[in-house]
Amino acid sequence: MNFAIVTDNLGRVYKIRGGKKTEPRELVALQDVQLQVKQGELFGLLGPNGAGKTTLIKILTTLLAPTMGQATVAGYDVVRQAEKVRPRINMVSGGESSGYGLLTVRENLWMFAQFYGIPSAVANWRIRELLKIVGMSDRINTKSSDLSTGLRQKMNIVRGFLTDPEVLFLDEPTLGLDVGASRDVRLFIREWVNQDPRRTLLLTTHYMVEADELCDRVAIINQGRVLACDTPESLKNRLQKEVLFRMQVSPLDSTQADTFESLPGVRKVTHRAFDGYAVLELILEQDDALGSVVNLMTTQNIHILNLQKREPTLEDVFVDLVGRSMEEVEKSGYSEGNQ
Amino acid sequence: MSSVNLRTTSSFSLKPESRLDVMIRTFRLSAWLGWQIESNWADPFLFAIYSLIKPLAGAAILVVMYSVITRGDFDSPIFPYIYLGNAFYMYVGQVMTGISWAVIDDREHYKTLRYVYVSPIHYPTYLLGRGVARFLIASISVVVTILFGILFLRLQIDLAAVNWGLLLIALIVGVNMLAMMGLILASVMLLLVHHMWGIGDAVASALYLFSGAIFPLEVLPDFLRPIGYIMPLTYWLELMRRAMVGEVAMAFPTLAGYSNGQLMGILIGMTVAFALLSGVIFRFCERRAKERGLFDIVTNY
């Protein structure tokens, strides 16, 4: 078995300098990460903002030194053999608008292709083809400073694929793209990996659907730790013996929602408040437990507006592993890690 | 969405490159990029006007100050000393600061540093290449300034007596020396996240005082004079002046005891020392920047 990416007890601790009166502190961004990504695999890192996904990508792309453990990409150590790793990889970070604004789209892309030693004729052919795919053929001679943020992001996605790397790292590639563009990018990503078994792609996302739809395997990461790693189906099958309900109810606060978790047969309850109503996601051990939840709601004068039994999703897997939804983790800032 | 097979449609395979090939490729590209950045911010006509007016404005300030202080004594040997020193000093600001500025520009402005750095290039060579455009612009400025001085300010330069060979060699060695100083400054920039915007100019301004650019080192207090003697800029400016107006340079005692060959030897030796030092400092700063995660930080400071 050929592995494109291997990490062994990989960790990263940031030292945060204190102010004049405060002591410096340490922030653990990654700890004991053990991953083996097979060649030809489309591998996803799923986790909330600040979980450590970007830190991991920075280490694997030779931008950042780990503070413990080691990692290899395409068979080479990312610290000691960085110059051997670099010709074999490329990376794109979503949600940003990098690029030399004074250069046209073609010039920007051509220059990066040259950085990888790709002959001009081949680079120009690829630029035309890839711009066609992302619907930017008519912008080839537009200065990148004149592009919208979304178009600049598409240009950067093209930059990543342009060099046809052995291992491509996409950090939140669809962040900030509209629905249609995100769908197109996801389709292209899947197709690109399928076309050649030597291509490996590691993408980070905090969109459950993206991870579920796209990835061969997914690692769920929170607070710098990999909590689970498997195919999306296998991860969801973990919850197959549980019963999942989504309830739309009259407004209630999170303390009230927490009381449901103490009921027998109730494993997890997450709560999201909306204008005029709330949504509860229930993970129950059996159907019967629903009765006690409904009874408690009645005593607390909470009205059920809608009730739906559903199949488990990766969101449920995350809740099961972390105890809270990804949205709750992000809101609370509980998950620290990224810088 | 149509499909594309990037690998099968490309009838080439990337050949392994030697380190030298990588460096040449990197230098060529970054020089091209630097020129695009420096020359594309305005239309060509405006750029040409700017390239002419900027150095003349700088020289005019100095000339007016000189004229007021000396009551218009343009025949004194100190005038070509100051004028040429000031003109050649433009290379310092442009080349040294220009190379270090590439780090800030890529990291903070274009947000491309991370992508440039993880590509298979030789990064120190990339930084040096980014200085090429600044060198060309500085060269235009220096020529314009000197011609203006000859034509309109009675700057006494006999073009037939100019030691062109010495000028060319000193220029080549000197620009390499400035490039190495620029690389050191760029390396330090990799570690700075605050207050980095003005550091290049601050260093160039400090060197202006101690390098004998606009006054001989004898003017400095005794305890400051050694700073001038340990800086290669001092020897370089002296050589450039001697190449252009030998007798004027000899009129000042600072380095009068040294022959051209000795000065060149000192300059080459110091350039080699700075080259070695820049390599060590770059590797140290690169390692520290990777440890601290500074390659893709955007401070908006």
Q: Give me the residue spans of the domains in chain B.
A: 19-292
> In the 8-state DSSP scheme, what is residue B164?
H
Q: How many CB atoms lie within 10 A of CB A216?
A: 16
* pLDDT tens string A182-217: 888 899 999 999 999 999 999 998 888 889 989 999
Secondary structure element (H or E) that encloses residue A68, with its range: strand A68-73
Tell me the CA distances in angstroms from A287 to A284, A293, A294, B260, one per residue in order: 7, 11, 12, 96
| Residue B84 pLDDT > 90 | yes
ipTM value, please give it.
0.85
Q: From the CA of B137, how many Å to the nearest CA of chain A?
A: 18
Query: Which residues in chain B have Cβ-Cβ distances shorter than 8 Å to A153?
Result: none
For residues A71 and A118, the answer to whether their CB atoms sit within 8 Å is no
**Tokens standing for residue A128:** 């035309």
**A180, two tokens:** 């249609």
B-contacting residues of A 58-87, CB under 8 Å? Answer: 58, 61-65, 83, 86-87
Spatial separation of the C-alpha atoms in residues A222 and A337, rounded to whole Å = 9
pLDDT band of A338, cuts 50, 70, 90: very low
pTM of the model: 0.86
Per-residue pLDDT at A334 exceeds 80: no
Q: Which of A30-34, A117-121, A267-271 has the lowest mean pLDDT?
A: A267-271
Any B CB within 8 A of A106 CB: no
Where do the structural domains in chain A lie, given as residue ranges?
3-234, 241-311
Residue B301: per-residue pLDDT = 55
CA distance A165 to A339: 26
CATH number of A241-311: 3.30.70.260
What is the distance between the alpha carbons of residues A337 and B259, in angstroms, rounded to a whole number? Answer: 62
Determine contact, residues A122/B12, Cβ cutoff 8 Å: yes
Whether the per-residue pLDDT at B45 is higher than 90: the answer is no
Q: Which residues of A touch B114 (CB under 8 A)?
A: 61, 63, 91, 93
Give residue B3's pLDDT.
54
**What's the CA gap between B263 and B270, in Å, rounded?**
11
pLDDT at B19 over 50: yes
Gap from A45 CA to chain B (nearest CA, Å):
20
Q: What is the dotted CATH code of the domain comprising A3-234?
A: 3.40.50.300
Question: CB distance from A334 to chain B under 8 Å?
Answer: no
pLDDT the model gives residue A257:
83
pLDDT of amino acid B11: 42
Amino acid at A325: S
d(CA A164, CA A320) in angstroms, rounded, equals: 38
A40 close contact with B: CB closer than 8 A: no
- Chain B residue at shortest CA distance from A122: B10
Both tokens assigned to A285: 């051990």
Quote the mean pLDDT of chain B. 88
B18/A contact by beta carbon, under 8 A? no
Which one of A55, A63, A120, A195 would you mutate to disrupt binding with B, by most B Cβ within 10 Å of its Cβ?
A63
Residue A260 to residue A268: CA distance in whole angstroms: 9
For residue A107, the chain B residues in CB contact (below 8 A) are 36
- Which residues of B are less than 8 Å from A162 in CB distance? 6
B301 close to A (CB below 8 A): no
Arithmetic mean of pLDDT, B88-92: 93
Mutate to test the interface with A, among B2, B27, B114 (most CBs of A within 10 A): B114
pLDDT, tens digit (0-9, with 9 covering 90-100), for A32-41: 999 999 999 9
Name the residue among A99, A115, A129 with its Cβ closest to that of B29. A115
Chain B hits for A117, CB-CB cut-off 8 Å, are 14, 17, 25, 120
